């Protein structure tokens, strides 16, 4: 019976794949800008590939990128996959492939066995890059939709569809779960929504949002009806782009003046510009706690996303930097890593939906903890003082009185001068 249960449990377990990741600055965008370290981040994991299980660290990509690996003929400085050393590697097509919408690489369609957190995926399809513009060892595409004229050329060249095709997962869900205090490490969970494997999450708290399909269908777009600072509505922007490879938020310039007027138009705060972004920073003397909550409301108004001053400012080089960068080129919002790490986000690549849990993040209340500690400490002190000033003196007094009673009613026989026993009490 136990053996049957073990098999059943294992058969369920393989339908949920958990892959550890770490948030790090990426190498895809070359920039000396002060905020590049914070702005350009990716979710990195380690894979093993080929018969010799060569280890490569590569990021996950939510859109635009198919799964690809830098081949040994590329000129990048990072780790490259040596296909000649793997007995299980093979080409799917001898034709050189170049994605039309982005010339970041060219390569050949290939396949090999890969290992993700000790989970083996046989004949995993990827592009073996022969030439690329970025110093990156590759990328794991979670979703990829190519240009309409190339619709079927890279069909299935992403992680989720391949796992589903090989029946290693039941559903097209994937989500990111952060596991440490700073939220720079966690797990990519594939195959189930959190409420189906984690009792902490409740299905009735789930809020769905349909994605907006663009002409190229390569991004995850959602709509929200308004953005507010505190209780005041300042902008109505109807589109939002969710990215995994962006650390900070991008906002439209239509919102910049309102933000500046509301908080940054003061001594100690400055506005800076580079070739692409405008951003604000403040000296340490500025009380950033005065910045009111920034709230985004979904179009269906079923959920609000609230960012506090703790979410909206990053301390770096002795200053506070506002995490919204105002983009010169893109007139929309981009929810990046700082958004994803606060709200549990579930992607469904089959139904083209994004879901969230409409439940506030549980935080440790320091004031409550300190109050409980003070109460416990007061109880301990009270018991100690009661022992010293009440119980201990009472105990001494009782012992003293007991001794007095013993002396008063001493029935011990005594002898008279003739060594005869006296009668006590006479």
Q: Which domain holds residue 236?
A: 203-363
128 and 259 share a domain? no
285 and 231 share a domain? yes
330-389 pLDDT per residue, tens: 667 888 888 888 888 898 888 878 888 887 555 555 666 788 888 888 888 888 887 777
| Residuewise pLDDT in 10s, the chain (426 residues) | 433 333 333 334 458 899 999 998 876 545 556 666 667 788 999 999 999 999 999 999 887 678 999 999 898 888 999 999 999 999 998 888 776 555 677 889 999 999 998 899 999 999 999 888 778 899 998 875 554 455 567 778 889 989 999 999 988 899 998 988 888 899 999 998 888 888 888 888 888 887 776 655 557 788 888 888 998 887 766 678 887 777 788 888 888 888 899 899 999 999 988 777 888 999 999 999 999 999 988 888 888 899 999 999 988 889 999 989 888 776 678 888 888 888 888 988 888 788 888 875 555 556 667 888 888 888 888 888 877 777 777 777 777 776 766 666 655 555 555 555 554 444
Measured at the alpha carbon of residue 73, what is the angle toward residues 72 and 74, in degrees to the nearest 5? 95
Q: Which of 305, 331, 363 is at the close of a domain?
A: 363
CA quadruple 361, 366, 367, 371: dihedral sign = positive
3-state secondary structure of 27: coil
CA quadruple 66, 70, 71, 76: dihedral sign = positive
223 and 335 share a domain? yes
Q: Is residue 52 in a domain?
A: yes
Judge if pTM exceeds 0.85. Answer: no
- pLDDT, residue 41, reads 84
CA dist., res. 198 & res. 205, Å (int): 13
31 and 156 share a domain? yes
- pLDDT, residue 280, reads 93
CA quadruple 367, 373, 376, 378: dihedral sign = negative
- pLDDT, residue 84, reads 93
What is the DSSP track for 238-299?
--EEE-SS-SSEEE-HHHHHHHIIIIISSTTEEEEE-SSEEEEEEETTS-GGGSPPEEEEET
- pLDDT, residue 188, reads 93
258 and 151 share a domain? no
Location of structure tokens 């953005």: 227
Taking CA atoms, 115 is separated from 45, 103, 143, in Å, by: 11, 28, 19
Contact 102, 119 (CB under 8 A): no
CA dist., res. 291 & res. 265, Å (int): 12
Domain count, the chain: 2
Contact 161, 173 (CB under 8 A): no
CA dist., res. 399 & res. 153, Å (int): 96
Q: Is residue 155 in a domain?
A: yes
CA dist., res. 386 & res. 390, Å (int): 5
Token pair listed for 105: 């690489």
54-67 pLDDT per residue, tens: 999 999 988 767 89
Q: Is residue 402 in a domain?
A: no
CA dist., res. 285 & res. 269, Å (int): 10
Q: Which of 333, 363, 393 is at the close of a domain?
A: 363
CATH number of the structural domain spanning residue 288: 2.40.70.10
Token pair listed for 384: 């100690």
99 and 215 share a domain? no
- pLDDT, residue 424, reads 46
296 and 348 share a domain? yes
207 and 139 share a domain? no
Q: Which of 148, 163, 178 is at the close of a domain?
A: 163
Q: Is residue 370 in a domain?
A: no
151 and 282 share a domain? no
211 and 340 share a domain? yes
CA dist., res. 188 & res. 291, Å (int): 33
Cβ-based neighbours of 4, under 8 Å, separated by 6 or more: none
120 and 33 share a domain? yes
Longest dimension (CA), the chain: 134
Location of structure tokens 């948030």: 23
- pLDDT, residue 11, reads 39
- pLDDT, residue 328, reads 77
Contact 312, 322 (CB under 8 A): yes
3-state secondary structure of 338: helix
Q: Is residue 347 in a domain?
A: yes
CA dist., res. 103 & res. 96, Å (int): 13
Q: Of 296, 240, 234, give the one whose Cα is nearest residue 260.
A: 234
CA dist., res. 123 & res. 91, Å (int): 11
């Amino acid at each position: 019976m136990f053996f049957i249960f073990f098999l059943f449990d294992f058969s369920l377990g393989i339908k949920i794949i958990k892959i550890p990741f770490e948030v790090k600055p990426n190498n895809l965008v070359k920039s000396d800008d002060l905020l590049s370290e914070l702005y350009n981040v990716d979710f990195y994991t380690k894979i093993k590939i080929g018969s010799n299980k060569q280890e490569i660290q590569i990021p996950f990509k939510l859109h635009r990128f198919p799964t690809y690996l830098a081949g040994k003929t590329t000129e990048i400085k990072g780790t490259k996959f040596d296909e000649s050393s793997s007995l299980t590697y093979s080409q799917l097509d001898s034709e050189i492939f170049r994605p039309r919408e982005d010339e970041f690489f060219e390569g050949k369609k290939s396949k090999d066995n890969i290992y993700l957190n000790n989970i083996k995926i046989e004949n995993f399809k990827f592009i073996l890059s022969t030439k690329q513009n970025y110093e990156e060892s590759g990328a794991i595409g979670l979703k990829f939709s190519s240009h309409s004229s190339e619709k079927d050329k890279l069909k299935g060249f992403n992680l989720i569809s391949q796992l589903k095709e090989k029946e290693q997962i039941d559903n097209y869900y994937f989500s990111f779960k952060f596991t440490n205090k700073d939220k720079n490490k966690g797990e990519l969970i594939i195959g189930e929504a959190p409420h189906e494997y984690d009792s902490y999450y409740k299905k009735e708290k789930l809020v769905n949002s349909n994605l907006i399909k663009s002409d190229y269908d390569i991004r995850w777009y959602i709509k929200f009806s308004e953005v507010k600072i505190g209780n005041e509505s300042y902008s109505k922007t109807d589109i939002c782009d969710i990215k995994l490879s962006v650390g900070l938020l991008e906002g439209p310039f239509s919102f910049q003046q309102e933000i500046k007027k509301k908080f940054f138009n003061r001594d100690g705060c400055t506005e800076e510009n580079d070739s692409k972004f405008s951003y604000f920073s403040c000296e340490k003397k500025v009380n950033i706690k005065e910045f009111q909550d920034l709230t985004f409301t979904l179009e269906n108004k079923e959920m609000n996303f609230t960012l506090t001053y703790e979410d909206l400012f990053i301390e770096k080089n002795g200053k506070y930097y506002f995490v919204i960068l105002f983009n010169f080129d893109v007139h929309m919002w981009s929810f990046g890593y700082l958004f994803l790490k606060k709200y549990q986000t579930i992607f469904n690549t089959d139904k083209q939906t994004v879901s969230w849990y409409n439940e506030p993040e549980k935080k440790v209340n320091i004031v409550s903890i300190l109050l409980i500690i003070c109460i416990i400490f007061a109880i301990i002190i009270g018991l100690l003082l009661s022992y010293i000033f009440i119980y201990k003196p009472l105990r001494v007094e009782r012992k003293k009185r007991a001794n007095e009673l013993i002396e008063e009613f001493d029935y011990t026989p005594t002898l008279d001068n003739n060594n005869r026993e006296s009668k006590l009490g006479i």
